Chains A and B, each alone.
Chain A
């Protein structure tokens, strides 16, 4: 009986105890959830979950050796919160062992900021006082780390910073015509634009929880969106060699007073571009100084009438069709009358000369090549030119590339029928000429012209691999015979002294093409030299062009620069010297 009472008492006591504790908790709960709800809610707002951007860098563009042509860097915007600005701010000054807090006036803060960022004091003051209620004002934009550290060292409480991912071009104008540049809305031109799918990045975001003292609560980070870095775009060009060519071409173009100039260097065995140079060009780090027409690549975008550099193509086509040989006799008069009016003239006055095909090429006789071209029908001739890659864009597909124009045979009048054989009445780009010469050097097989080696994604996969299927343009024998005739241009031609390189056999063809303006051929020329080395087994092709030179209007002006480029090419790519002497093809009969 007593026991049961005792038991009941114990049970009652413990129930009471439990109720007490529960009551305490309920009271606390009510206090937090109901009484102090407002205050706690406002305090916690913004202190709970923080969303943070996970930056991933845009892919870089590198040359064939990995030298960075375009890279991603961080820049910093210096911002301020005008709302919290007061007339003075506190700064701790350490004086030996003593640390005192002094009050720094606003004006001094402005002056210090101006000095650290390089902006003027008025600009800084204007930015801070423009809207005193705003929470965000820009003091300086896109500054380097040095500036950021200097600003942070000032320890001004109302100054903050933001990271701005930016682009840098450490080699300046080298290959800038190919790389292109970025603008406010993203890629503007060049490979930055056309290869944007390879290079572009996506910033991710993650959410984490933060304690009241700003420390991340462990285990609370959740990646809401994965970041994806851009892939590295590898080009075929060699940046050092490209720089050399850019410098010598620019120098010479300035000396000649040329409006424009291009140089294209191609490796014969795989049609990889070693250098593509334009003049004028742009420094992507200084876009304000750029000329309007200089933002792209003239070598790809601007067609012109090539002139005599097309003669080897005509000769190769005729040899391949079995119509002529290197020593076919051509009775070449000083003037060739054309049915229906007009005549064909050579660049030098002469009487009737008995040239061979070799002689026609060496002396660049328009009349000679016109007479030879009569042996092949116009449709066949045009087909060969198309197989050489003319009248269509190259495989590079560069931004703004042009395919030039070889008119339909139905539009060839009697003069055009002759003119096309020596490169007038049709237009090409420098890239197309380089590609055609690559075919001649590669035993008659034209490979797709290649600028991009590939795009290496962050996970290691390589995309954008180039196409390697070739087109048989002319037979191996026809190509070799044509190159031999071009070699005689260097050994026996009138520019022999300028074009020879000791120890190496160079094949070249010069061109001085007239420019048509408003239907009339005027007094301006496009001078070019196109060639390859070593002639017995070509490894590299160089095509050099100057548009509208003022001082010297013949291709002799381009020859010394051509040789400079050839020499640098030989040194850079270690071209094997030639052991056997050049063949001597009879020039006359």
Chain B
């Protein structure tokens, strides 16, 4: 007969651990994979940062461009004003009053009185040669087509003009600004003789 009354020796109750043990839940692989990754967070923030930087840079460039535009606008305005002023001067120089005055101051004559025509088909010269008469000066110091704007213009004609005689200016239209042209000492012959006929081939 065994000793059934043998009581197992009682172990003393395990003492409580002095500090709670750090328990970690070991995640499974799938759980680990589903955890948000730092990399993605960094990428997102970085992208946002880059966007902000880009916007900042763009607005800096825009503002700088605005200053450039402002400066160029002023330049363009000044240049186009100059262009307009020069165009005005050019139109004045092109005006027939100025051209006629300058031409006559150089001694040129007009051939309305004794026109001569060269017929190319047979080389025949029509008309009679003659010295340039009274009608050969279109203006001759008396301009009947005034242009007050020319008075502000310094032209080649004014340099060679002789004594401006007040008697020359017609009383109806003031020959404003155009000093009278000195008449040449002798009439200029328009042709020495007949014009040579061209030899047509």
Q: Given that A172-B150, A503-B117 are known contacts, is A246 also in contact with B144, CB under 8 Å in the complex?
A: yes
Task: Compute the total of residue contacts between A and B using a CB distance below 8 Å.
Answer: 132
Cβ B69 vs Cβ A216 within 8 A: yes
Q: Does A68 contact B (CB under 8 A)?
A: yes
User: In the complex, which residue of chain B has the Cβ closest to the Cβ of A568?
Assistant: B112
A-B contact pairs, 6 of them (CB 8 A): A170-B95, A172-B149, A174-B145, A247-B139, A283-B147, A286-B148
User: In the complex, which residue of chain B has the Cβ closest to the Cβ of A67?
Assistant: B94
Q: Given that A246-B144, A247-B143, A286-B148 are known contacts, is A254 also in contact with B172, CB under 8 Å in the complex?
A: yes
CB distance from A511 to the nearest CB of B (A): 23
Tell me which residues across on chain A come within 8 A of B91, comparing CB atoms: 68, 71, 168, 170-171
User: In the complex, which residue of chain B has the Cβ closest to the Cβ of A571?
Assistant: B115
Cβ B88 vs Cβ A172 within 8 A: no
Q: Does A325 contact B (CB under 8 A)?
A: no
Q: Does A153 contact B (CB under 8 A)?
A: no
Tell me which residues across on chain A come within 8 A of B147, comparing CB atoms: 170-174, 283, 285
B124-146: which have CB < 8 Å to A? 126-128, 135, 138-139, 142-146
Tell me which residues across on chain A come within 8 A of B113, comparing CB atoms: 564
Cβ B128 vs Cβ A173 within 8 A: no
Task: Please measure, in the bound complex, the distance between the C-alpha atom of A237 and the C-alpha atom of B172, giving whole angstroms.
Answer: 25
Q: Does A350 contact B (CB under 8 A)?
A: no
A514-569: which have CB < 8 Å to B? 560, 564, 567-568
Tell me which residues across on chain B come within 8 A of A414, comparing CB atoms: none
Q: Does B62 contact A (CB under 8 A)?
A: yes
Interface string of A283-317 (1 = CB under 8 A from B): 10110010000000000000000000000000000
Q: Does A448 contact B (CB under 8 A)?
A: no
Which of B67, B94, B149, B173 contacts A215 (CB under 8 A)? B67
Tell me which residues across on chain A come within 8 A of B119, comparing CB atoms: 503, 577
User: In the complex, which residue of chain B has the Cβ closest to the Cβ of A217?
Assistant: B66
Q: Does A243 contact B (CB under 8 A)?
A: yes
Q: Given that A173-B145, A279-B144, A283-B146 are known contacts, is A239 also in contact with B96, CB under 8 Å in the complex?
A: yes
Tell me which residues across on chain B come within 8 A of A502, comparing CB atoms: 115-117, 126-128
Q: Does A96 contact B (CB under 8 A)?
A: no
Tell me which residues across on chain A come within 8 A of B84, comparing CB atoms: 73-74, 145
Tell me which residues across on chain B come within 8 A of A571, comparing CB atoms: 115
Q: Does A82 contact B (CB under 8 A)?
A: no
User: In the complex, which residue of chain A has the Cβ closest to the Cβ of B113?
Assistant: A564
Which of A144, A174, A218, A243 contacts B69 (CB under 8 A)? A218
Task: Please measure, in the bound complex, the distance between the C-alpha atom of A68 and the C-alpha atom of B170, giving whole angstroms.
Answer: 27
Q: Given that A170-B95, A215-B66, A216-B69 are known contacts, is A251 also in contact with B146, CB under 8 Å in the complex?
A: no
Cβ A218 vs Cβ B146 within 8 A: no
User: In the complex, which residue of chain B has the Cβ closest to the Cβ of A287?
Assistant: B148
B46-77: which have CB < 8 Å to A? 62-63, 65-67, 69-70, 73
Task: Please measure, in the bound complex, the distance between the C-alpha atom of A280 and the C-alpha atom of B97, giving whole angstroms.
Answer: 17
Tell me which residues across on chain B come within 8 A of A173, comparing CB atoms: 145-147, 173
Tell me which residues across on chain A come within 8 A of B172, comparing CB atoms: 254, 280
Interface string of A161-179 (1 = CB under 8 A from B): 0000000111111100000
Q: Given that A170-B95, A247-B139, A250-B173 are known contacts, is A503 also in contact with B85, CB under 8 Å in the complex?
A: no
Tally B residues with Cβ within 8 Å of A. Answer: 46
Cβ B139 vs Cβ A172 within 8 A: no
Q: Given that A74-B81, A145-B81, A145-B84 are known contacts, is A254 also in contact with B117, CB under 8 Å in the complex?
A: no
With A218-B63, A564-B113 already in contact, 11 other A-B pairs whose C-beta atoms are closer than 8 Å: A145-B81, A168-B149, A170-B147, A171-B96, A172-B146, A243-B97, A247-B100, A254-B144, A280-B172, A280-B173, A283-B146
B89-121: which have CB < 8 Å to A? 91-92, 94-97, 100, 112-113, 115-117, 119
Task: Please measure, in the bound complex, the distance between the C-alpha atom of A63 and the C-alpha atom of B145, giving whole angstroms.
Answer: 17
Interface string of B150-173 (1 = CB under 8 A from A): 100000000000000000001011
Task: Please measure, in the bound complex, the distance between the C-alpha atom of A360 and the C-alpha atom of B126, giving whole angstroms.
Answer: 31
Which of B82, B127, B144 contacts A247 (CB under 8 A)? B144
Task: Please measure, in the bound complex, the distance between the C-alpha atom of A567 and the C-alpha atom of B112, giving whole angstroms.
Answer: 6
Tell me which residues across on chain B come within 8 A of A564, comparing CB atoms: 112-113, 135
Cβ B62 vs Cβ A243 within 8 A: no
Which of A171, A218, A250 contacts B66 (CB under 8 A)? A218
User: In the complex, which residue of chain B has the Cβ closest to the Cβ of A243?
Assistant: B96
Task: Please measure, in the bound complex, the distance between the C-alpha atom of A240 and the C-alpha atom of B73, giving whole angstroms.
Answer: 39
Which of A145, A172, A247 contacts B95 (CB under 8 A)? A172
Task: Please measure, in the bound complex, the distance between the C-alpha atom of A501 and the C-alpha atom of B114, giving whole angstroms.
Answer: 9
CB distance from B68 to the nearest CB of A (A): 10
Interface string of A144-158 (1 = CB under 8 A from B): 111000000000000
